[in-house]
Structure 1
């Protein structure tokens, strides 16, 4: 994958200046695979490795919920790491934009490899999937009011129905801004029709929203989960959002392995079958499909993978709409 054409490499001297309070940088390489921020593995002269992540500076090409995302990522790590959850530890944050043009977060380097490239089979694959479910449960045990995106009152609310409605409305406004045709009135009607199901969510749980295999690190032999990354789009809301986000093109609520890992860590089964849960899952699949439909325009994705990605997103949105209608 490639990032947007506006992204440029960060000079080593700038990375040295950012990480100076942590240690002296000797070399760095850019980590690929992300579609939003720029991330670097930085080697220090004492043998340690740290990760520097910096946000894009072209804010005119960001969606409404994408402003100040690295501050949300740092918040999640700071909430989760002291609880023993497998996330990087924040070493420093730099919101000054003195050395880099955007916000920057420096965190510890995770062991392992991304799950999407681990090529696991058998017991190792089962271990990895159960680990994802367990990590989800651990994150969901953290609560913080209000509902919605952290520190964004315009994208939050006192109730989940209110917060989710504002999140959807912001996306619909972004779609209009970028010329993405969506059945906005129908989407609003479905939100109203399923409002009672949204009201069933009364606890603002920490939800990663993007636990796809590229954001999960595992031991390449055993499949043991070594950490999760990129919680920059985290929200406080319904845990079922993560069931959709961890497998955006599939149907994770039917994944007995993942749900088994979740139940073991949480001490209770996650409801994915009640009428309320099914309605909310359908809404979240539609929401994620809208996110992916809209964001691809301002990001101007490039590469051979784009045509297949676009087709899959269109299919995902059509399926989600059909499901929510029924």
Structure 2
């Protein structure tokens, strides 16, 4: 999700956004110059240009006609919760300005955040040397470890834990998360060895019980499309998309980090 391409306008009334911004920022002189849609994302996202030259990012629920996987139904709420948690951290995460679960004025729940500068790491990859890629990979691992320092008393997707529906063990939370994915597949008649997968997850019970602390794990954190960098210094300037965060085992991030490393090297 990158904030530098937005070729057509979002069908939202600027006056409605203006009123929402006034309520949020308490700055009556601040006006909306224009809003522009960022295409090709699950959520409806637009860049809001303000009269003082600054920009904000407005993220709304997907269109009602969009078919969602089970975990995607809570992604906006999850992102709002995680950004609130990370407000005083050293992570270059967007600053959350407002989350409205009902979103009556915009006819959708919405999350309003600050804009993060930088270019997409995914776009920059073809022009980076192997040394530069390795250095950025090390930065991402360090940033991921900062998120992992946060601990919850229960396990599971952030939105469920926030609503007191977390699990007391990683075994139960992991099995529930896998089951959710399998049910999505069954709903869409995807051909998978469902029985074998369920049996495998059950057989991992002892190993899963070895995880005793529920740490914050932001799935996708190491993916190049969710990273912004400063091309002059190759420093990571932003991390995007916190909607797939869970309280669980940081080992969940290894596939992202390993695949990212392969691309980096």
Q: Which residue of 2 aligns with 1:277?
A: none
What are the superposed Cα offsets for residues 6-34 of structure 1, whole Å, 9 maximum, x if unpaired? xx943242433433333421112222353
What residue in structure 2 maps to residue 86 of structure 1?
92
Do 1:140 and 1:206's aligned partners in 2 also have CA atoms closer than 8 Å?
Answer: yes
TM-score, normalization by structure 1: 0.69
Deviation sequence 1:133-162 (CA, Å, 0-9, x none): 111111111112311112326974111110
Partner of 2:38: 31
**Aligned equivalent of 1:177:** 187
Note closer, same or farther for the CA distance 1:242–1:17 as it changes in structure 2 (3 Å cut). Answer: farther
Distance in 2, matches of 1:67 and 1:156, equals: 17
Give the structure-2-normalised TM-score: 0.84
| Residues 152 and 247 in structure 2, CA contact (< 8 A), matched pair in contact too | yes
Going by fraction, where is helix more abundant, 1 or 2?
1
- Is 1:221 the equivalent of 2:232? yes
Question: What residue in structure 1 maps to residue 138 of structure 2?
Answer: 130
Aligned length: 247
What is aligned with 2:5? none
Q: After the TM superposition, which residues 210-249 of structure 1 pair with which residues of structure 2 at under 5 Å, given as runs? A: 210-211=220-221, 212-246=223-257
Q: 1:12 to 1:127 in 2, by over 3 A?
A: farther
Once superposed, what is the RMSD of the aligned Cα atoms? 2.6
- The residue aligned with 2:20 is 18
Q: Is residue 140 of structure 1 aligned with residue 148 of structure 2?
A: yes
Structure 1 residues 59-208: aligned runs within 5 Å: 61-119=67-125, 120-122=127-129, 123-152=131-160, 156-208=166-218
Q: For the residues of structure 2 that align with 1:241 and 1:32, how far apart are their CA atoms?
A: 29
* Contact 1:149 1:155 survives alignment (8 Å): no
Residue equivalent to 2:6: none
Contact residue 141 and residue 257 of structure 2 kept, 8 A: no
Deviates more, 1:95-104 or 1:110-119: 95-104
Question: What per-residue deviation string (whole Å, max 9, x for no partner) do you get for residues 151-199 of structure 1?
Answer: 3269741111100101111121221111112111100111122222211
Q: Unpaired runs of 5+ in structure 2?
A: 2-8
SS in 2 for 1:82: coil
Indicate the structure with greater strand content: 2
Secondary structure of the structure 2 residue equivalent to 1:164: helix
Residues in 1 aligned to 2:253 and 2:128: alpha-carbon distance in whole angstroms: 24
Looking at structure 2, the residues matched to 16 and 175 of structure 1 have their Cα atoms a distance apart, in angstroms, of 41
Contact 1:142 1:205 in 2 (8 A): yes
